[in-house]
Structure 1
């Protein structure tokens, strides 16, 4: 199936854009949603996380204590690698399952760390980057998540740079104080293009 990889920095508006594509019939496979699902109460990753990191990183409801784990992996690269060794294979397996089950004209993989991962670019036909200014990212995430500016800046610093994402892009949607109807019009145009690519690929 023809596949588009949708990415962008934190706070760029990936979910908003993905929702617009979904409304037009694209099958959305969101790796962030999968990551949340496997670390929810009873999630596939939770037994291994509890064993590797101990009960301190498991919330009372049996889910991953995200706030505590976020602090740990931002200060300890080894802990980050251990967490990823547990979660990444499960995310990949679930991504492949959802892709097999997709019924849209094409599938759109929403992958926040597509550029950083190194292997995603070879798994999709086109890369779509949702782009905005870093100042806009910071403002949005502070408002949405209640994070301090320093927290957001630290997250952005660990992601690919804006220039690196744009260099990897086949298509770009600018989502920087763009009116909703203008954003929808851009999605409409790309959706028609992707439908044509998908038809040609059959």
Structure 2
């Protein structure tokens, strides 16, 4: 089991996945809350059955899997629907993350989550690393990556913790507004720091 768990968070379009990959290249185990959110709603899982019963068959894709864009449209236009879904999924996701982090075979491990604080996942970590970019860059990157209009990205940003509050709660900040080389340099520096903290925690 890892001696240190680092929570990695940041707003949509901040580049959390690229940062996670850079740590993984250094041999660090990373668990992604977005991946767990897909795992807990796989066909045959109780959560998917509950979602279909609540929202109706329109949230199912033809292959029987969850139609995520259809569900996203529903929950971002209805606060109660979003709350219902969060109450169902967050405990299941956290349970799965906790189990996987406990089995992590690296000196320290990462829990990567856009909603680290909002879901209470920060209780599973020892430190918080915020991947930060200016909001204009978030909008530009996320709308280009996801092929959706800026309005939808802004709604997602509004549902996430305010940038200043997120920064205020960080132990470390990685400025990801530069190029790939700059990001990798910062990851390597943080990697050395986390290895040192992990050794001290033995």
The TM-score range, normalised by the shorter chain, is over 0.9
| Offset from partner CA, 1:92-126 (integer Å, 9 cap, x none) | 12101211221011110001111323x33332111
1:133 to partner: Cα distance: 0.8
Is the counterpart of residue 131 in structure 1 residue 143 in structure 2? no
Q: Does the 8 Å CA contact 2:98/2:124 hold for their aligned counterparts?
A: no
Q: Does the 8 Å CA contact 1:3/1:107 hold for their aligned counterparts?
A: yes
TM-score (norm 1): 0.94
Report matched runs for 1:12-161 at 5 Å.
Answer: 12-43=14-45, 45-117=47-119, 119-161=120-162
Q: Does the 8 Å CA contact 2:94/2:121 hold for their aligned counterparts?
A: no
Separation in structure 2 between the aligned mates of residue 120 and residue 89 of structure 1, nearest angstrom: 10
Is the counterpart of residue 196 in structure 1 residue 196 in structure 2? yes
Large movers: runs of 4+ above 6 Å: none
Q: Does the 8 Å CA contact 1:43/1:63 hold for their aligned counterparts?
A: no
Q: Does the 8 Å CA contact 1:2/1:106 hold for their aligned counterparts?
A: yes
CA RMSD of aligned residues (A): 1.3
Separation in structure 2 between the aligned mates of residue 107 and residue 123 of structure 1, nearest angstrom: 11
1:44 to partner: Cα distance: 5.0
Runs of 5+ consecutive residues of structure 2 not aligned to the other structure: none
Secondary structure of the 1:114 match is coil
Tell which deviates more after alignment, 108-117 or 185-194.
108-117
Runs of 5+ consecutive residues of structure 1 not aligned to the other structure: none
Between Structure 1 and Structure 2, how many residues are aligned? Answer: 200
Summarize the Cα distance change of 1:92–1:122 in structure 2 as closer, same or farther, 3 Å threshold: closer
Separation in structure 1 between the aligned mates of residue 172 and residue 46 of structure 2, nearest angstrom: 34
Secondary structure of the 1:45 match is helix
Q: Does the 8 Å CA contact 2:11/2:132 hold for their aligned counterparts?
A: yes
Q: Which residue of 1 aligns with 2:187?
A: 187
1:158 to partner: Cα distance: 1.4
1:6 aligns with one of 8, 13, 16: 8
TM-score (norm 2): 0.94
